[in-house]
């Protein structure tokens, strides 16, 4: 699942999990339950690495998985596509765009009706995150070949290990 906060990723991920009898991994749910903070001193990257490890183990045994991570960066998406391919699993990138006014309304509504399921987000945060977000292009959404990793990386496995430091060594091979 790719998109900014308020895009509807978790709602769609829940629908996909039911339709495909899949495990759904949503880091925010884990971060809230474990730490009560969206980053918790860098623990989010560690948590995501462990969730990816479990997801890859699941697909190896034939279980469908939905990663509801947001995946704002092209490199993150490419690394996950590569990791899925490395275990023989198909991977589909699903992007949910959201207009700024709709995003603000959804975030505000969620904060009122279900504050225990989310983190506070200021308008300035939403604006900053929109600037950081790298929208997937048609080729990526269509499952085009995975591009080469960024310069300086020996491969996607090494890039992923740097991004998600708790990613199991067995998943980076």
Containing domain of residue 125, as a range?
A: 9-163
Query: Each residue of 61-72: pLDDT tens digit?
Result: 999 999 999 999
State the total domains in the chain: 1
Show the tokens assigned to 135: 């929208």
Composition of the chain by helix, strand, coil, percent to 5: 55, 5, 40
Q: Is residue 1 part of a domain?
A: no
Task: Please check whether residue 170 lies inside any domain of the structure.
Answer: no
Q: DSSP code of 164?
A: S
Q: pLDDT of 18-48, one tens digit each? A: 999 999 999 999 999 999 887 888 899 999 9
In a domain, 64, yes or no: yes
CATH code at 70?
A: 3.40.50.300
pLDDT in tens, 84-111: 999 999 999 999 999 999 999 999 999 9
Give 115-161 as a 3 state SS string: HHHCCCCCHHHHHHHHHHCCCCCHHHHCCCCCCCCCCCCCCHHHHHH
- 4 located within any domain: no
């Amino acid at each position: 699942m790719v998109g900014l906060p308020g895009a509807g990723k978790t709602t769609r991920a829940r629908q996909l999990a039911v339709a495909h009898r899949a495990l759904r991994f949503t880091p925010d749910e884990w971060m809230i339950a474990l730490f009560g903070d969206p980053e918790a001193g860098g623990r989010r990257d560690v948590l995501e690495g462990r969730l990816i490890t479990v997801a890859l183990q699941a697909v190896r045994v034939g279980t469908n998985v939905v990663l509801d991570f947001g995946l704002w960066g092209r490199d993150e998406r490419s690394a996950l596509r590569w990791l899925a391919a490395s275990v023989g699993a198909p991977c589909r990138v699903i992007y949910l765009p959201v207009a700024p006014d709709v995003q603000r309304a959804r975030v505000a509504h969620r904060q009122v009706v279900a504050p225990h399921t989310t983190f506070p987000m200021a308008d300035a945060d939403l604006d900053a995150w929109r600037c950081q977000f790298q929208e997937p292009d048609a080729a990526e959404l269509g499952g085009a070949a995975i591009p080469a990793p960024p310069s300086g990386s020996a491969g996607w496995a090494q890039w992923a290990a740097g991004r998600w430091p708790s990613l199991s060594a067995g998943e980076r091979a």
